[in-house]
A = this chain, B = another copy of it.
Amino acid sequence: MESLTITTPKKQQAVPEPTVRRMPQYLHLVRALREKGDMYVSAPVIARMLGLDPTQVVKDMAYTGVSGKTRIGFSTEELQLALEDFLGYNRKHEAFLVGAGYLGSALIQYQGFREAGMKIVAAFDTDKRKFGTEIQGVPVFSLEKFRDLASRLHISIGIITTPAGAAQSVADLMVVWGIKAIWNFAPVALKVPDQIIVQDTHIYANLAVIINKLGQQKNS
């Protein structure tokens, strides 16, 4: 392993968000290629397999710090390690989740996040009956304990899986309580200070588009 010449990816520079969003795709592809024994892969091949523009792939690869060899391409081993490092899969980001309902429980039980660098270490709710219970080993606390635990454990990611009506006030509290990044699954547009990172995963909106388009097809 010591013989690998991986340039440390420059995380200081702001990588364009579309590039960041493609990085997990590259990683999944490269892992699959390694599993079937491929030691090298070229940018055009990556582009073809993922349906992307080859020039874009070359640009994206530059952010991993791995440089390809002429006519051979990128070492899949180097690329996998560099992508995992870029994506922070080797560090563990710990997250608190607020809203231990169906969606919150589903996310806690979804262990895929652990491989992707994030671990949900505690859940919070306002329903007394849930206090002291566990979801797959993750304890559920009263929301009042969030602040104290978050500062003690240096938690920077807060996940919101509350009903829509509660999401904004939970986000407000998270900001005050020192959370740096909010991952919002509630179907509302959160208003937070500029320096707070917000990512929305609006699964209801996705479903709405599917159902609406299906309805159009039936009517056409």
Decide if A149 is an interface residue (CB 8 Å cutoff).
no
Number of A interface residues at 8 Å Cβ cutoff, please give it. 70
Given contacts A212-B15, A214-B156, contact A24 B204 (CB under 8 A): yes
Residues of B near A216 (CB, < 8 A) are 11-12, 14
Q: A206 to B197, alpha carbons, bound, how many Å?
A: 11
A211 touches which one: B17, B25, B87, B191 (CB < 8 A)?
A: B87
Given contacts A88-B215, A93-B214, A102-B111, contact A23 B164 (CB under 8 A): no
Interface string of A206-220 (1 = CB under 8 A from B): 111111111111011
Decide if A62 is an interface residue (CB 8 Å cutoff).
no
Decide if A128 is an interface residue (CB 8 Å cutoff).
no
Verify A183–B206 contact, CB threshold 8 A. yes
Decide if A72 is an interface residue (CB 8 Å cutoff).
no
Q: A204 to B209, alpha carbons, bound, how many Å?
A: 21
Interface segment, one of A37-45, A74-82, A113-121, A138-146: A113-121
Residues of B near A206 (CB, < 8 A) are 183, 199-201
A117 touches which one: B112, B156, B203, B211 (CB < 8 A)?
A: B211
Decide if A21 is an interface residue (CB 8 Å cutoff).
yes
Q: Which residue of B lies closest to A86 (CB)?
A: B212
Q: A207 to B95, alpha carbons, bound, how many Å?
A: 11
The 5 closest A-B pairs by CB, nearest first: A28-B164, A106-B106, A21-B205, A24-B204, A88-B211
7 A-B pairs in the complex with CB atoms less than 8 angstroms apart: A25-B164, A25-B188, A93-B214, A112-B204, A118-B207, A181-B210, A183-B207
Interface residues of A (CB under 8 A from B): 11-12, 14-15, 17, 20-25, 28-29, 32, 50-52, 86-88, 93, 101-103, 105-107, 109-113, 116-118, 156-157, 163-165, 180-181, 183, 187-189, 191, 195, 197, 199-217, 219-220
